[in-house]
Amino acid sequence: MAKKVAVLGAGSWGSILANMLVQNGNDVVAWTNMEAQAQELNDQHTNEHYVPGFKYDERLVATTDLEFALKDVDAVLFVVPTKVMRLVAQQMVAVLEKTKQQPVIIHASKGLELGTHKRLSEVLEEEIPSQYRKAIVVLSGPSHAEEVAKQDLTLVTAASTDLASAEMVQKLFMNHYFRVYTNDDIIGVEMGAALKNVIAIGAGALHGLGYGDDAKAALITRGLAEISRLGVAFGAKPLTFIGLSGVGDLIVTATSVHSRNWRAGNELGQGMQLQEVIDTMGMVIEGIPSTKAAYELAQQKHIEMPITEAIYDVLYNDKGVKEVIDDLMHRDGKSELE
């Protein structure tokens, strides 16, 4: 049955997911904080800054009016950057307090909140009182907006502690090119999603410096080992890290030119200054704040994360990429499965 869905955040991922939900037969309103962007989506059916050249379905409605977007919704999909997730949740709650709705809450963002180090479902759980929501479901996996826009084949995970809600989200998104699995390990899915961005910055940096495939495979493999270590320390299931939201997303983000995190790393490897990388990307690079959050969590829990520490030193301590690679290669020898 068709659902009414509000998509909060109309950047590259939010707008493409909104478009797909329309094409799946749902009634969808995309909410943005920019009037000009809403107008462009409604009038030209384009979103040139975020997905250049793409024509959106004419049935997709965009608005800056949150009350209008949330009217009678069955589900709300958050796709805003991590740093504004809490703020946008508060804005939504202010509306739901008046309308007394109780939608399913979905998020498709990937990060850990700076300062609190919280996963995004924890942020949403904290901000949205239970009377204004059903379950929280996380949609995550190897999925670049640019490829989903072209209806390339994409497989992701819908994670929730509530199986019925995960299955509702599975049905909502599935179609002939987008396949969704359910998973009850919300911790593992969110940790994998946030932490793969950190490793992707490293993979991009190796590429920028001219290293080859051996180095990239090594970084991905050892990166997965440390991501899993941290995730498991916070209650994730180890197997989740060899699933779509773990190694699947790590592979796509650490090898694809579509990835903003990979591209940021590549530019750093080529010698560009961090601020210039951020200023010229024009889209969110989640791995930068997530590196800080992951580094602090690892310190707190005494988890060994040498690659994350190295990337942290490049981003926050002004160390050179070559220097941290040299440090990593000169660590004491150890057993692979320690």
Ligand X SMILES: NC(=O)C1=CN([C@@H]2O[C@H](COP(=O)(O)OP(=O)(O)OC[C@H]3O[C@@H](n4cnc5c(N)ncnc54)[C@H](OP(=O)(O)O)[C@@H]3O)[C@@H](O)[C@H]2O)C=CC1
Ligand Y SMILES: O=C(CO)COP(=O)(O)O
> Is there a contact between 123 and 107 (Cβ–Cβ < 8 Å)?
no
Look at residue 78 and give the partner it binds from ligand Y, ligand X, none, a contact being a CB closer than 5 to 8 Å depending on partner kind. none
Amino acid of residue 300: Q
- Residue 87 binds which entry of ligand Y, ligand X, none, CB below 5-8 Å type-dependent: ligand X
Q: Is 69 helix (H, G, I), strand (E, B) or coil?
A: helix
Q: What minimum distance in Å lies between the beta carbon of 156 and ligand X?
A: 9
**10 Å Cβ neighbour count for 44?**
11
Count of residues interacting with ligand X (CB under 6 A): 27
- Can residue 124 be called a binding residue for ligand X (CB under 6 A)? no
Q: Catalytic pick from 4, 55, 118, 196? A: 196
Which residues bind to ligand Y, rule: CB under 6 A? 110, 142-144, 197, 200, 249, 252-253, 259-261, 286
Between CA 231 and CA 250 the distance in angstroms is 14
Residue 149 contacts which entry, ligand Y, ligand X, none (Cβ below 5-8 A, type-dependent): none
CB 292 within 8 A of CB 317: no
Q: Active-site residue 216, yes or no?
A: no
CA dist 226 and 146 (Å) reads 29
* Out of 112, 123, 199, 284, the residue judged to bind ligand X by CB under 6 A: 284
Q: Which stretch binds ligand X (CB under 6 A): 137-145, 206-214, 232-240, 314-322?
A: 137-145
Q: Taking the CB of residue 271, how many other CB atoms lie within 10 A of it?
A: 10
Strand partners, 27: 4
Q: Which listed residue (19, 26, 101, 143) binds ligand X by CB under 6 A?
A: 143
CB of 183 to ligand X, least distance (A): 16
144 binds ligand X (CB under 6 A): yes
The residues that are catalytic are 196
